[in-house]
């Protein structure tokens, strides 16, 4: 029983101490209004998304990329939209399973990259809420306690002889 308590205490320390280091990270995209559109792609930590895949979709053909490219060493991608194609241009940035999409208004009625905040979709914020943390911790503790009980029961049964070779076999279907 002392060993079981030690295992539970160790599991609790590990879960509380290591849980904070296992966060994923999301993506933050910003835009700068100029004669061209500048996209700055960075992870939530502020690290630039270097050489991330960029797809630019024109308003008149959202199914096929109008321009394809990659970000530079600072996570920046610059393009000049066709002024004849008025509407919302979609820019998708992806790298290693992380990415986001930003919608940029372009045209005489909309302006080019107006200073109004564009909607940004992120692949993940990297923050777990308290309910998620509680469920994860409970699952780990449940698994550790179950494993400890399984192995402690197995040892105690073997030590008392309840499953030893001198235990008579039950009669199974009349077979000898």
Q: Which residues fall within 8 angstroms of residue 65, CB to CB, at 6 or more apart?
A: 55, 56, 57
- The tens place of each residue's pLDDT in the chain, 176 residues long, gives 666 666 666 666 555 555 444 455 677 777 665 568 899 999 888 899 999 999 999 999 989 999 999 999 999 999 988 878 888 999 999 998 888 999 988 877 766 554 344 444 445 545 677 888 889 999 999 999 988 888 887 665 555 555 555 555 555 555 55
pTM: 0.49
Q: Give 121's strand partners.
A: 101
Read off the tokens for 42.
Answer: 């960075």
Torsion over CA: 52, 66, 124, 139 (sign): negative
**How do residues 72-97 score in pLDDT, each as one tens digit?**
999 999 998 887 888 899 999 999 88
Q: Cα–Cα distances in Å, from 104 out to 17, 60, 88, 120?
A: 43, 14, 5, 10
**How do residues 19-41 score in pLDDT, each as one tens digit?**
444 455 677 777 665 568 899 99
């Amino acid at each position: 029983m002392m060993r079981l308590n030690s295992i539970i205490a160790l599991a609790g320390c590990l879960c509380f101490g290591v849980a904070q280091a296992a966060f994923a990270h999301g993506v933050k995209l910003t835009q700068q209004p100029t004669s061209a559109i500048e996209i700055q792609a960075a992870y939530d930590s502020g690290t630039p998304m270097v050489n991330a895949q960029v797809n630019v979709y024109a308003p008149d053909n959202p199914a096929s990329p109008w321009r394809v490219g990659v970000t530079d060493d600072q996570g920046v991608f610059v393009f000049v939209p066709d002024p004849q194609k008025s509407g919302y241009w979609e820019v998708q940035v992806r790298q290693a399973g992380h990415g986001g999409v930003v919608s940029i208004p372009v045209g005489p009625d909309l302006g080019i990259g107006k200073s109004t905040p564009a909607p940004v979709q992120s692949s993940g914020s990297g923050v777990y809420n308290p309910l998620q943390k509680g469920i994860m911790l409970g699952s780990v503790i449940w698994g550790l306690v179950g494993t400890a009980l399984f192995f402690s029961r197995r040892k105690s049964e073997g030590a008392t002889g309840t499953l030893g070779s001198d235990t008579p076999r039950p009669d199974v279907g009349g077979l000898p």
